[in-house]
């Protein structure tokens, strides 16, 4: 049996399906904040095997023999061959593919995307933001800085790539604004323990100190944020943006305002979406509401929450999205403009997982392999064209 027959067998497919089921369970627990250390390791191992896309998509592109030759050349001890039962053989093969790819020694049987203006590309680490104080002072933040803000608030921009207000002692009604640029992301730990992940091109205004009673009021002025709100029945948490308000007591949810409609996806707990002059809309976990600021209308539906929240965990996940939607997110994260040769290219579909820490050329190769299109880079523009 050759390698392609072997890995297309029903036994192999069942093995992959079982891994995907386990991954889905662990991802759901992680989104809810219930993943322990052992499960975190297990999830990383499973994702390492499944890679960024399904194994069925990746295997035809990997010359494992050349990859293993490269590994053997770097090993000081000989590699011996042993007989394995079929399932153990699949496990070893899957692990070997993950090892080859993880070490960067795989050989792709396909030309790679080139940059017309090549530069040395580093793995993406774009944890950066600007903090604007009440008096208008702007402070640049990145994961290398540690500082204490001097307006009476104890703030730490630390190696965890977050700004913390755990020791805040600011006067009442002192507001700060956190601005994350295109191509960046940042995390905020508020004074009550509430965690907020801010995506690229996002602006959040919030009180330096949250009250223990009364309303905890923040303003998502643009972009996308994931909130994990500390429970306090005496102080409901309010997120205000463009004609609507999300009210919670303690829960986890994502708000996306990048498009014409504002999408609110609930992970756990419950929320109430308020609109001026209209009855509130209640949401339960697994539901998403879409609010139209122009008409004031709102719709609600059940969704798979993972594609809408995976960005905070380092992934871009797509489920039969249009290439137009995919490239909008890719361009925002990597800070590239997108140019399409024709409108019909935007309508092509794509599904898969892209790790945000990968180089832009690696991401474009995955997208290119899945569709009848080709990608090229010139300066800060990605060109999407028909494949000849």
pLDDT-derived band of residue 17, with 50, 70 and 90 as boundaries?
confident
Q: What is the mean pLDDT of the chain?
A: 77
Q: Among the listed ranges 30-44, 46-60, 198-212, which one has the minimum average pLDDT value? A: 46-60
Domain ranges within the chain, ordered by starting residue: 3-102, 128-308, 314-386
Q: Tens digit of pLDDT for each residue in 81-98?
A: 333 344 444 444 454 444
* pTM score: 0.67
Among residues 53, 13, 4, 49, the alpha carbon closest in space to that of 369 is found at 53
Number of C-alpha atoms within 13 angstroms, CB side, residue 50? 24
For 61-71, write each residue's pLDDT tens digit.
444 444 445 44
Give me the pLDDT at residue 174, please: 84
CATH of 128-308 given 3.40.50.1820, 2.60.120.1440, 1.20.210.10, 3.40.50.720: 2.60.120.1440
Which of 82-91, 297-306, 366-375 is predicted least confidently? Answer: 82-91
Strands of the sheet with 337-340, listed across from one edge:
337-340, 381-386, 373-378
Q: Which of 101, 143, 174, 178 is nearest to 355 (CA)?
A: 101
- Portion of the chain with pLDDT greater than 90, in percent: 39
Of the CATH numbers 2.40.128.20, 3.40.309.10, 3.55.50.30, 3.40.630.30, which one belongs to the domain with range 314-386?
3.55.50.30
Place of tokens 């020791």: 167
201, 242 in Cβ contact below 8 A?
no
- CB burial of 230-253 (b: ≥16 within 10 Å; e: otherwise) equals bebeebbbbbbbeebbbbbbbbbb
pLDDT at 120 over 80: no
């Amino acid at each position: 049996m050759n390698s392609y027959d072997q890995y297309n067998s029903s036994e192999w497919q069942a093995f992959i399906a079982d891994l995907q089921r386990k991954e889905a369970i662990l991802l759901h627990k992680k989104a809810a904040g219930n993943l322990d250390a052992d499960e975190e390791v297990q999830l990383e191992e499973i994702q390492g095997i499944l890679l960024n896309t399904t194994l069925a998509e990746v295997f035809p592109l990997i010359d494992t023999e050349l990859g293993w030759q490269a590994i053997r050349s770097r090993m000081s001890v000989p590699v011996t061959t042993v007989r394995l039962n079929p399932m153990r053989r699949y496990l070893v093969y899957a692990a070997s593919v993950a090892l080859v790819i993880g070490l960067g020694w795989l050989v792709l049987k396909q030309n790679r995307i080139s940059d017309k203006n090549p530069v040395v590309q580093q793995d993406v680490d774009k944890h950066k933001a600007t903090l604007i104080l009440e008096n208008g002072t702007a402070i640049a933040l990145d994961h290398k800085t540690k500082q204490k803000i001097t307006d009476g608030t104890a703030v730490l921009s630390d190696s965890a790539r977050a700004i913390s207000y755990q020791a805040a002692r600011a006067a009442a009604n002192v507001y700060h604004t956190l601005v994350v640029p295109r191509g960046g992301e940042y995390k905020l730990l508020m004074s009550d323990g509430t965690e907020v992940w801010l995506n690229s091109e996002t602006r959040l205004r919030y009180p330096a100190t949250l009250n223990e009673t009364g309303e905890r009021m923040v303003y998502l002025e643009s972009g996308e944020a994931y909130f994990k709100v500390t429970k306090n029945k005496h102080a409901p948490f309010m997120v205000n943006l463009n004609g609507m308000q999300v009210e919670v007591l303690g829960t986890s949810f994502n708000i996306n305002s990048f498009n014409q409609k504002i999408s609110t996806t609930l992970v756990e707990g419950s929320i109430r979406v308020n609109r001026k002059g209209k009855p509130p809309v209640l949401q339960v976990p697994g539901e998403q509401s879409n609010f139209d600021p122009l008409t004031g209308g709102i719709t609600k539906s059940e969704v798979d929450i993972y594609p809408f929240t995976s960005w905070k965990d380092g992934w871009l996940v797509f489920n039969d999205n249009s290439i137009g939607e995919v490239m909008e997110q890719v361009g925002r994260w990597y800070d590239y403009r997108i140019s399409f040769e024709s409108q019909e290219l935007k309508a092509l579909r794509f599904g898969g997982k892209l790790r945000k820490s990968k180089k832009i050329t690696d991401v474009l190769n995955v997208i290119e392999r899945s569709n009848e299109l080709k990608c090229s880079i010139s300066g800060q523009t990605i060109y999407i064209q028909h494949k000849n």
